[in-house]
Structure 1
Amino acid sequence: MAKKKDPKDASDRKREQVVELYRTRLAHLKRAQVFVKEDRMALAVDSYNKYLGILALYFDTTEDRLSPSLFDAEKDMTELLLISHAYWDLAKAYDRSPNLQRDCFRCLEQFMKFSIGFKYQHVNAQIIRKFNNKKQAHNLKAFEAAYHKIQISAKRCYVATMAFGFEDEKTETLRHFKLKIAKYNLGLDFIDFYYAHSPTLVNYLEVRPKQKFVFNTFIARPLLSTFIFFIRSHVHHTKTHS
C-alpha cells in the first residue's frame, strides 16, 4: 500500500525552494542595473521583474501588492531603497512606450510608496527632480506630480516637528508655507536644502537630550515662532486689503 504524502512535508519543501530562490534575487537586480547602464531596457525590465517577482513570492503575495509594510523599516532599509530604485527604472522604461503607460503610472505609484517616510526620501526626490528638469519624460505631468508628492506634499517637517510636535498648528502653518513657495524655483531650492540638512540635525539632537532642549528652547522655537508670526501677519494683511 502506497504511503500517503504528508502535505506538511510538501509545504516545507516548497518553502525551502522559495527561500533558495530568494537568495538569488540580488543577482537579478544587479543584472538589471547593468542593463540600464547599457541602455538595454527590455532586458533590464525582465531582470527587474524577476527580482520583484521573487520578493513577492517570498512574501506570498503578487508583485503589484508589494508594500513597505511587509518589511522591517530599520533592518530592511537597504532592500527598501533598492526596491524603490527598481520601480523608478521600470517607470522610466515603461514611459518610453505609449502602450505601457498604465504600467508606468503603477510603477511611479510604487516608487512613491517605497520613498515617502524613509530616510532616503530626499535622495529619491532629487533623482526624480533631475530627471524632470531634462524634460525627457513622455508623461512629464505624471513624473512632476510624483516629485511633488514625495518632496512637497509629504507632511514631515523635521525641525518644526521636533520643536512643536507633528500636529501643532505652528507646524501646520509651516507646511502650508512650504506648499506656497513650492510654486517657485527658489522655493523648491530652499525646500531641497531644508530636506537635505534638517534630518541630519534632528537625528543628531534626538540622541542628545540636553543639546536638543537647548536648541529647541533658545533657537528653534523662538526663530520659528517669529517667522510664523510674520507669515500669519502677511496672510491677514493680504486678506484685509483684497
Structure 2
Amino acid sequence: MIQCPRCGIQVTELHPLDPDLVSKLQAAGETNLPPQVCAGCISDLRRTVATSSGGVLMAQERAREQHRLQLWKSRVQLIKKARMSMGSKLYSDAAISYEKYLKILDIVFEVKKGEKLRPEAFKESARTTELTVVASVYWDLLRIYDTNEKYQDRMLNAAKQLAMFIQFTPIYPDIIKKAESFAKTARNPNIVKQFLKMSDKERPRCFIATSAFGPQSLEVQELRVFRDFTLRNTSWGRRFIALYYKHSPAIACLLDKQPWLKPAVRAILRLMIKCVS
C-alpha cells in the first residue's frame, strides 16, 4: 500500500498529474501539488478545475453584461450629439454619431456579422419606445447620405431599415409626408421612392383599431407591437391574425358608417391593451 501525498489515504497505486491539469490548477490558485496522487484526488482536482472554470465563465458573462449596460446608457449622449450636429448642419459629424449609436445597438442586441438590426430585438416592452428613435436615426441618415453620390449604398441601406422600423412608430405618417416632399428635391429620388414603396408594403393594416382611434394613435402602435412581437410567435396567434384580417375590414367599414359605436369599441380595445401590456 502507498500513502497518497495529498490526502494521506493508503492506496494501491498513485497516478501522475497531467501537465494541462496542473497548469489549470495553478491558475485556479492551487499550489504545492505533488507529482503523483491517488485516483480519488485526481477526480477531486478535476472537479476543482471545472468549478473554477464555471466561475470564470460567469465572471466573464457578468463583465460582458456590464459592458452592454454601459453601452446602452451611452447611446443617449450620442443621439444628443448627433441632433446638435444636425441643427448646426454638421452632417458628417451627425452621421458618425448616428453610426456609433447603431453599432451600440448591434452589440447590445448581439446582431451577428452580416445580419441587420431588426425591430424584433426591441420586443421587451421597456425598449419598444426606442423603435421611434431608431426610425428617426435612419431618416436622418437617409437624408445625410443623399448629399454625396458615393454614399448611395449607405442611403439605400438606411431606406430599407427605415421602412422596416417605421411601421412600429407613431411618426409613420409624418415621415411618409416628408419623404414624399423630399423625393422632389433629392439627388437620389429613386431611393426615396423605393423607401416609400417598401414602407407601404411593410406596413400591415390594423383596420378596427385604426378606424376607432386613428392611424397615428398610441393605441394602434401598442396593438401593432403586440401583434408582431407576441401573436406572430405562436400558432394560435397567427390563426387569430388571419381571422382578424378576414373579418375586420367589414367591421371597420361599419364603424366609419356608424361613428356612435366607436366609443364602445375604444373602451374594449383599451381594456385589451391594458391586459396585454
Where do 5+ consecutive residues of structure 2 fail to align? 1-25, 29-51, 213-242, 254-259, 270-277
Change in 2 beyond 3 A, CA 1:8/1:78? same
Amino acid at match of 2:175: N
Larger Rg belongs to: 2
Q: 1:97: Cα distance to partner?
A: 1.6
| TM alignment of 1:26-41, pairs within 5 A | 26-41=76-91
- Give the corresponding residue for 1:208: 267
Change in 2 beyond 3 A, CA 1:73/1:58? closer
TM-score by length of 1: 0.62
TM-score by length of 2: 0.55
Residue 147 (structure 1) aligned with residue 196 (structure 2): yes
- Give the corresponding residue for 1:95: 146
| TM alignment of 1:1-242, pairs within 5 A | 1-3=26-28, 6-61=56-111, 65-72=116-123, 75-132=126-183, 135-151=184-200, 154-156=203-205, 158=207, 165-168=244-247, 206-209=265-268
Distance in structure 2 (CA, Å) of the matches to 1:59 and 1:31: 22
Q: 1:22: Cα distance to partner?
A: 1.2
Cα RMSD over matched residues? 3.4
Q: 1:203: Cα distance to partner?
A: 8.7
Distance in structure 2 (CA, Å) of the matches to 1:95 and 1:104: 6
Distance in structure 1 (CA, Å) of the matches to 2:85 and 2:181: 21
Change in 2 beyond 3 A, CA 1:153/1:68? closer
Distance in structure 1 (CA, Å) of the matches to 2:126 and 2:98: 22
- Give the corresponding residue for 1:227: none
Where do 5+ consecutive residues of structure 1 fail to align? 175-200, 211-242
Q: 1:93: Cα distance to partner?
A: 1.3
Q: 1:209: Cα distance to partner?
A: 4.5
Change in 2 beyond 3 A, CA 1:160/1:80? closer
Ranked by relative contact order (alpha carbons within 8 Å, sequence separation 6 or more), the top structure is 1
Per-residue deviation, residues 50-105 of structure 1 (Å, max 9, x unmatched)? 11111111111159611101113754343101100101111111122221111110
> How many correspondences in the alignment?
180
Q: How much identity, in percent, do the aligned residues show?
A: 21
Change in 2 beyond 3 A, CA 1:131/1:72? same
